[in-house]
Amino acid sequence: MSGCNPSRANKFLILYFCPSLLTFNMSESIVISSGAKGEQYETLLPQIEALVKGESDLIANLANCCAVLKEQFNWLWIGFYLVKENQLVLGPFQGPVACTRIAYGKGVCGTAWASGKTILVPDVEQFPGHIACSSLSRSEIVVPVYKNGNIIGVLDIDSAEFNSFDETDKLYLEQLVKSVVE
């Protein structure tokens, strides 16, 4: 049809119904870095802090946090389990479908919740009681999420490689969850 540009018309309709897209494009605002893992976290952390600063909704912030980590590191699975009625219940995540509920003290997540400490698992097969949500997972890190001194959930990250996580991940991921939640 002469004089008609459907793609321009579609863009107009999208912006008419979603005006926020005019002023804010989240994916373009994240700078992905290379180099040593510590440097990657150093670049990422201030960006995550800036991202969550203007938003008070916990779920929205946890969801974006997962998206940013996935973009930077592309691990197999990144997500939060949140404490609800004395269980861990699946929250925002990026990656394959996962177990929805984990009991206190069970698996790596439930153990991190019970101990209140970050757990590094170089080989998931060697962790007694590990819960295999995905058969592709080889190593894992679980970081408890504290709010006002209480554990409100855990950040769980799975890798398809053995030995993916170390003290550097522990250090930065603990900082990250703190800045996202507090």
Residues forming contacts to ligand SME in the complex (CB under 6 A) are 77, 98-99, 102, 107-109, 130-131, 133, 137, 140, 156, 158
- Residue of closest CB approach to ligand SME: 107
Q: Which is nearer to ligand SME, 109 or 120 (CB)?
A: 109
Q: Which is nearer to ligand SME, 108 or 180 (CB)?
A: 108
Closest approach of ligand SME to the CB of residue 48, in Å: 21
Residue 56: count of CB within 10 angstroms of its CB: 8
Q: Which is nearer to ligand SME, 44 or 90 (CB)?
A: 90
Distance CA 62, CA 66 (A): 6
Give yes or no for a contact between 103 and 128, defined as CB atoms under 8 angstroms apart: no
Closest approach of ligand SME to the CB of residue 76, in Å: 9
Closest approach of ligand SME to the CB of residue 74, in Å: 16
Distance CA 59, CA 41 (A): 22
Q: Which is nearer to ligand SME, 72 or 137 (CB)?
A: 137
Give yes or no for a contact between 59 and 91, defined as CB atoms under 8 angstroms apart: yes
Q: Where are the alpha helices (DSSP H) in 34-106?
A: 37-53, 58-73
Closest approach of ligand SME to the CB of residue 118, in Å: 13
Distance CA 152, CA 112 (A): 12
